[in-house]
Homo-oligomer: A and B are copies of this chain.
Amino acid sequence: MSELSPISVAFLVFPNVTQLDLTGPAQVLSRLGNTTVDLVWKTKDPVPTDAGFALLPTRTFAETQSADILCVPGGFGTMEVIQDEEVLNWVRKVGADASWVTSVCTGSIVLGAAGLLKGYRATTHWASHDQLAFFGAEPVKQRVVFDRNRVTGGGVTSGIDFGLALAAKIRGEDHARFIQLSIEYDPQPPFESGSPEKADPATLERYWGLVNRSAPGRADKVKAIAKRLGF
């Protein structure tokens, strides 16, 4: 694969990230060939995730001034991130020149807060979908949304579909099919409960109950933050 053009992928990592938002597409994109994958944060200290273990940044913001692909994952930690000018400035800076400005799950709320989705069609985790509009984006109900060089995925596991779709754009469909075979991506979910349309009402109610207990008034808070940021 030595004839392939080099590609650098920079994932933002941050405390309380939903780690699969990042590790899913990282697995796919690491197989683009001639590719470096970095996890980037303020320092190289371990960053706690939502799943009981930490991720270790490979580079700091200061060390990473550009990337071919910028990818921002989501999770409850995004609430802190969109109030952190140091992080937003780094996302703005790298996003300004990246070939692909991307996100998985509520990472698109971070792209939005950095001003990178104004006037773009985008998606996010189904439970945060309406919040994209606070930042001037047009929410679209699709698992993966391409709009010019912005690519956004829905909740968590959409990152694998996103990674394969982006791989096809960058290296061609044959290479994406090769990656899909290598990771045996022939999903067979044991239940039909992966979207609010498919889940039964009790499951949906339970989910909103958890959100409202663990992050009460979240949408209103995001709206207020968007306002403070000038949207």
Contacts and interface: CB of A to CB of B under 8 A. Distances in A.
A181 B190 CA distance: 12
Nearest to A58: B53
A62 interface: no
Contacts of A204: 181
A34 interface: no
A216 interface: no
Interface residues of A, number: 66
Oligomeric state, in copies: 2
A24 to B, nearest CB: 6
A176 interface: yes
Best-buried of A58, A125, A156 by chain B (most CB within 10 Å): A156
B168 A195 contact: no
A87 interface: no
B58 A56 contact: no
Best-buried of A39, A203, A206 by chain B (most CB within 10 Å): A203
Contacts of A105: 184
A153 to B, nearest CB: 9
Closest 5 CB pairs of A and B: A155-B184, A186-B194, A37-B52, A23-B23, A177-B193
